[in-house]
Each structure stands twice: as structure tokens, then as C-alpha cells.
Structure 1
Amino acid sequence: MHRTYSMRQSRAPTASQLQNPPPPPSSTKTGRLFGKGGFGHALRHRTAGQFGPDLAKKLSQLVKMEKNVMRSMELVGRERMEVAQQLSLWGEACDDDVSDVTDKLGVLLYEVGELEDQYVDRYDQYRVTIKSIRNIEASVQPSRDRKQKITDQIAQLKYKEPNSPKIVVLEQELVRAEAESLVAEAQLSNITREKLKAAYTYQFDALREHCEKLAIIAGYGKHLLDLIDDTPVTPGETRAAYDGYEASKAIIQDCEDALTNWVTANAAVSSKLSTRSRTLSQRRRANIPRTIDGHDLTAQDAPLNDRESGLWIPASAHKADGYEEEEEEEEEAAAPSIQEHTVEGESRGRQEAVAAA
């Protein structure tokens, strides 16, 4: 939790991380040519989908928009940590109960910021998987273009020179192009479905964990608020001495334990289908043909690399057209890392008590 006040000296992996190891840091954190401002955000939004094959433009735009979403979430996480620090600093000058509770609320809010940062990393798994669909679409586009080009040439020759011997040659090329296109389209169909399901499984699993943990923090935050004596007092009356330090520390410990031990199997919120929805879903699954001897097209990737005939062009070949990873143009400079949260000023009495515990 909050690195200044947390009772944990080291952050051991949580039960959820042991069950589902965290991904590497998000690609949006690695480097930024335009820094943390909104210029890169606006540039991606305006240029998204303007380059590359027509087939991949819409998905390319989606990928760029998702990058903006991730950058925004990253900013939110940093600012939550700063808010937690400021709340804790403000509470120092208040009465004992308010001071202690705002201190512990800063712990919880700082943890929210860290959860936002972890969520960005898992969200990037979804985005990278969607990008793989975009790359396949880019690879399929040349085969479509070649088939259309040959078809147009045949139609033009039949109109101008009906007896031209080139028509026979072009028709043979069209047969080959159609065969290549059929394989490419089947690959695109198969991979799109596989990657789409995988991508949004990443996103929804990450979203579920993130929201469940936020709900845990919110619940313990309200328990902390109960420690504040909000009974009105008359002028000159003195409130009873605050004796909730141990209670607030115990609440924080309980919250840490709940976050550490959370796993998907113990999620509090479950999405239950109605009888009608369940019946229709089961009917849909039953109607999907399950052939024992299915057609595996994964091994057909390699042969479709006939550069001489131009039948198949990998997505990497589109670099010359400015397509491959437009975001790379803005990620040449290293981005400043998120600084660890520290609180300036004198040590507070209850910090020493926490450290001693």
C-alpha cells in the first residue's frame, strides 16, 4: 500500500498474482517523444487509421484510441497518488481523530493509484492482442488487391481485345490468386475469432479484478470514517480523547489482507444469466458445428510468402508506407518513471507506532 505508511516492508505477490502472473509493464510506459502532455494524445487521435491497407484502417484506429485510453488511465493513477499525499499532509494539522483517519485514508487512496497502474499493464495485454488481428488484416489486403487487379485487367481486355491471348494467361493467374485469397481469408477469419476472444478475456478479467479490489478499498475506507467523532459540540466543550489508533491500524491491515488474498474464484460479484439468456446461449453453442477432423490452417502461414508474385505480403513489409506502428514515431525518448510516493516534513507520531509494530 502507501509506501510511507504501509505496515508491509516488502510487497510479496498477492494470491491473484500467483494464480495469474502479472504481464510485463505496458508498452505505453517505455518512452515518449512528446512527454506526458496531450500533444501525442491528440496526434494519435487525428492520425489513427490514416496509413496502411484499407482493410486494417478501422482496427488501427481502434488500437490508437486504446493507447490514448491507457495513457489517460496512467495519468489518473499518478494523480491519485498525489491526491493521497496531499490529503495526508492536510490532515497533520487537524485534531487527532481526523489526523489519524486522513492518514489512513491516504494509505487507501495511494493503493487505488497503484491498482490503476497495475490495471494499465493488464489492459495492454488486450491491446497487444488486438494489434495482432490488425497485422493479419494488413497481410491479407495485398491478396485481395491482387485478385481485384487481375479481375479488372481481364474485364478491360475483354472489352478492348476480346481475342487477346493474354486473357487466358490472366484467367490462370486469377485462379491462383483466388486460391491464395481463399486461404488468406480463412486464416483471417480463424485468427480474428481466436484473438478477439482472447483479447477481451484479458480486458474483462483485468476489469473484474480491478473493480473488486476498488470495492474492497471503498468498504474499508467507510470503516475508517466511523472512527471520526462527528457529534456536535458546544463552544468551549472538549471532545473525548481519541483512542482509535490501534483500530485504524487494524482496519488497514484487514484491507491489505483482503487485497492480498483476493482471487477470481472468491469474487463477490457474479454475472448470472437469466433462464432465457442461458437457454439461448446454450442453444447457440449447440448449433456451432464441432467437426472432429477440422481444418488446421495455422501451418499455411509460411508458404504464403511469395514475394516475387506479390501474392502475400507480411504486415512488416508495410513499414515503407508508414503503417507499421505509427506510435513508434513518438516513443524514441525515454519517459520519466513514476516517482515513489514520499511525504515531506516531520515524522508523525503514529508512523513511529506503525514502524514499531
Structure 2
Amino acid sequence: MHRTYSMRQSRAPTASQIQNPPPPSSTTKAGRFFGKSNIGHSFRRNAAGAFGPDLAKKLSQLVKMEKNVMRSMELVGRERMEVAQQLSIWGEACDDDVSDVTDKLGVLIYEIGELEDQFVDKYDQYRVTIKSIRNIEASVQPSRDRKQKITDQIAQLKYKEPNSPKIVVLEQELVRAEAESLVAEAQLSNITREKLKAAFTYQFDALREHSEKMAIIAGYGKHLLELIDDTPVTPGETRNAYDGYEASKAIIQDCEDSLTNWVEQNAKVTSSLSTRTRTLSQRRRNRHQGEAVDLADQDAPMEGNRDSNLWIPASQHHNAEHYEDDDEEEDASVANGSVRGREEERVAA
């Protein structure tokens, strides 16, 4: 019997992909050493945040940890596909009903593996957006350092040479440094909030689509199981001939149609706020902005260019080039067995 392995022969765009075009392939899927192994997981986690400006170290560690999460999800997706193929291979030698159903179940499980792979690409949008906050933090660090350095110099001169004419010059430089730092800190505060909301909107939209499609597959999988005759037979008794081939194909087709036509507006699971929660959120907005807020539309998907004004080119970030290709440099250091530095010990508060 021909084993299917895949739900669709051609990959036409789904309704969800037409509405929100899929992102480019995840940055974690390229530039690896030693193939697709996870040899760098522990090195990456331990070395994360060991270099770069102090302000960006904590978020740098988060970015590296998310990279580990994404590569683990990649591995899960590949292994699901292998499991699907093995299930189909095993069922081929079984009775007709078991053989047909296991083949179709393999199709569904293989589709889950492909959904995992697509989810990684969308999850990377979240990670890249968080990574851009880290670059902004790194660009703010020099202004902080300059202001602190001038302050220390003034304090030292006032202690050693109270009448030194350099004090006046340094105080003027400090005024300029404080003004520069004030602008940088304001930009960091504003953009951090905008990008944080954009990043987790990417993640939650991807989670919702992934979870709903997984639930769809699970539902049709249970319909397939109904085609197996599990009525006990006595020794020597013959089961009725299996006639569910057309039904199993129809179930797979219905599943494909449901996945293809799924869009976020038709999501089955919704998160409704209680009356108390709505009241509290409206009160808070009234206090701060003088207007009410309705969170009923909180689950609206992000449009393709909705947050385009949030992005700042890398060239506008001071010292951003230090981080631009850090993922690839990091993989190279892992491959050469020369990861430097240790994770700083966490001091108990």
C-alpha cells in the first residue's frame, strides 16, 4: 500500500497566511556547526550575558535562552515527522483497518511536525523584536558611562584641587552629558514599551494559531479512530471486511480544509474578561488618560506593517554592530571549543 506521509501534495497558502504573510525562516535554522545537533545549548546559556555593556546583559541572556527554546522546538518538530513515518511503516503489515487508520494518523502527526516548524519561524519574530530592545539598551550604556566618568572626575578634583579651573569645564561637560543621557533614557523607556508589546503580540498570536490548529488535528484524529472495529472476536471468528478507505480519505480532506481556512477571527477559544476586570481596566485608563478602555479587541492579530514605525535601523544604534552577528559568532566559538567567560554568580538579595 502507498504510504502517504504528508497531508498535501502542494502547499498552497492558507487563509491565515494570506491574511498575515508568514515570516522569513527562523535565524536559528542556519549557520550551525555540527549539523543540527544541540551541542551549543549549555555553552550558550552559560556564556550569555558575559560580554557587552552591563545594561544589556540581562536581556542578552534572555535572547540566548530563547534561542535554546527555539532549537528545542525544531528538534521536536523533526522527531514528530520521523515518528509519523514510523507509525505508518509499522501499520502497513497490520489488518486492513489498522493499516489504513495508522497511515492516516501518520499523516496527521506529520502535519503536527510541520506546524511545529512553522511555529518556530513565527516565534523568531518575537525573539528578534526582544533582541532589538537589547541593542537599544547597549546604545544607551555609553551615555551613562560618560556621565558617571565626568561625575567621578569632578568629585576627585574637588577633593584634591578644590580651586582647579578644570572643575568649571567638567561641570559644563556634565551638563551636556546629562542632557544627552536624558534623551537616550527617554528613547529607551518609550521604545522598550512599544517593542515589548509588539514582541509578545507576535508570540501570543503564533501560540493561538498553533494551539487551535493542533486542536483541529486532534479532533479529526479521534474521528479516524472510530473507523477501527475494536469489537472483541472469538478464536476462529472473522471480522467484517474493512470498507472505510473513502471515509478515512474524507476525514483527512476535511482536516486539510479546516487547517487551510482557519483565520484568527474564527478562533474557537476566546479570553473573555469578567465585568470586574473590565471595570478595573477602565478605571486605570480614566485615571491616567481621562478616557475609558475596552479590552474586547485585545486579541486582534498584528498587521504586516502595524508596528513598522517601531523599528530603528541598526545603523542608528551606537555599538549595535557589537551584537549584529553575535549568534553566528557564538556558534563559531562553540564549534572551536573556545567559549570564554563564566556566567556571573547570582547574589542573593
Q: Name the TM tier (shorter chain).
A: 0.7 to 0.9
Deviations 1:263-321 (A, max 9, x none): 00000000011111111122223333389xxxxxx9xx99x98xxxxxxx71335x3xx
Deviations 1:58-106 (A, max 9, x none): 0000000000000000010000000000000000010111000000000
Asked if 1 retains the 8 angstrom alpha-carbon contact of 2:49 and 2:61, the reply is: yes
Residue 314 (str. 1) matches residue 318 (str. 2): yes
The 2-side partners of 1:232 and 1:264 are apart by 44
Q: Which residue of 2 aligns with 1:287?
A: 287
Q: Secondary structure of the equivalent of 2:9? A: coil
Q: Which residue of 1 aligns with 2:343?
A: none
The 2-side partners of 1:252 and 1:214 are apart by 14
Asked if 1 retains the 8 angstrom alpha-carbon contact of 2:76 and 2:116, the reply is: yes
Residues 70-85 of structure 1 aligned to structure 2 (within 5 Å): 70-85=70-85
The 2-side partners of 1:198 and 1:68 are apart by 21
Q: Which segment drifts farther, 96-105 or 151-160?
A: 151-160
Q: Which residue of 2 aligns with 1:150?
A: 150
Letter of the aligned partner of 2:159 in structure 1? Answer: Y
The offset of 1:159, in angstroms, is 1.1
The 1-side partners of 2:35 and 2:49 are apart by 23
Letter of the aligned partner of 2:225 in structure 1? Answer: L
Letter of the aligned partner of 1:186 in structure 2? Answer: A
Residue 169 (str. 1) matches residue 169 (str. 2): yes
The offset of 1:147, in angstroms, is 0.4
The 2-side partners of 1:171 and 1:290 are apart by 41
Q: Secondary structure of the equivalent of 1:205? A: helix
The 2-side partners of 1:35 and 1:5 are apart by 24
Asked if 1 retains the 8 angstrom alpha-carbon contact of 2:6 and 2:110, the reply is: no
Asked if 2 retains the 8 angstrom alpha-carbon contact of 1:138 and 1:314, the reply is: yes
The offset of 1:7, in angstroms, is 6.4
The 1-side partners of 2:290 and 2:128 are apart by 29
Residue 178 (str. 1) matches residue 178 (str. 2): yes
The 1-side partners of 2:241 and 2:288 are apart by 69
Asked if 2 retains the 8 angstrom alpha-carbon contact of 1:84 and 1:106, the reply is: yes
The 2-side partners of 1:130 and 1:71 are apart by 17
Q: Which residue of 2 aligns with 1:104?
A: 104
Deviations 1:139-179 (A, max 9, x none): 00000010011111111111111111111001000000000
Asked if 2 retains the 8 angstrom alpha-carbon contact of 1:147 and 1:181, the reply is: yes
Q: Which residue of 1 aligns with 2:67?
A: 67
Taking CA–CA contacts closer than 8 Å with sequence separation of 6 or more, which of the two structures ends up with the larger relative contact order? 1
Asked if 1 retains the 8 angstrom alpha-carbon contact of 2:5 and 2:88, the reply is: no
Q: Which residue of 1 aligns with 2:326?
A: 326
The offset of 1:9, in angstroms, is 3.2
Asked if 2 retains the 8 angstrom alpha-carbon contact of 1:15 and 1:261, the reply is: yes
**TM score, norm. by length of structure 1:** 0.83
The 2-side partners of 1:83 and 1:135 are apart by 40
Residues 201 and 236 (structure 1 numbering): CA distance in 2 closer, same or farther, change over 3 Å? same
Residues 66 and 281 (structure 1 numbering): CA distance in 2 closer, same or farther, change over 3 Å? same
Q: Secondary structure of the equivalent of 1:39? A: coil
Asked if 2 retains the 8 angstrom alpha-carbon contact of 1:84 and 1:110, the reply is: yes
Letter of the aligned partner of 1:103 in structure 2? Answer: D
Letter of the aligned partner of 1:100 in structure 2? Answer: D
The 2-side partners of 1:324 and 1:242 are apart by 60
Letter of the aligned partner of 1:91 in structure 2? Answer: G
Residue 50 (str. 1) matches residue 54 (str. 2): no
Q: Which residue of 2 aligns with 1:347?
A: none
Q: Which segment drifts farther, 30-39 or 134-143?
A: 30-39
The offset of 1:332, in angstroms, is 6.3
Q: Which residue of 2 aligns with 1:355?
A: none
**TM score, norm. by length of structure 2:** 0.85
The 2-side partners of 1:5 and 1:110 are apart by 7
The 1-side partners of 2:143 and 2:21 are apart by 39
Q: Which residue of 2 aligns with 1:351?
A: none
Residues 263-282 of structure 1 aligned to structure 2 (within 5 Å): 263-282=263-282
Residues 1-357 of structure 1 aligned to structure 2 (within 5 Å): 4=4, 6=6, 8-289=8-289, 314-316=318-320, 319=322, 324-331=324-331
Letter of the aligned partner of 1:275 in structure 2? Answer: T
Q: Which segment drifts farther, 82-91 or 269-278?
A: 269-278
Any unmatched runs of 5+ in structure 1? 292-297, 306-312, 334-357
The 1-side partners of 2:54 and 2:236 are apart by 76
Any unmatched runs of 5+ in structure 2? 292-308, 334-349
Letter of the aligned partner of 1:158 in structure 2? Answer: K
Asked if 1 retains the 8 angstrom alpha-carbon contact of 2:88 and 2:102, the reply is: yes
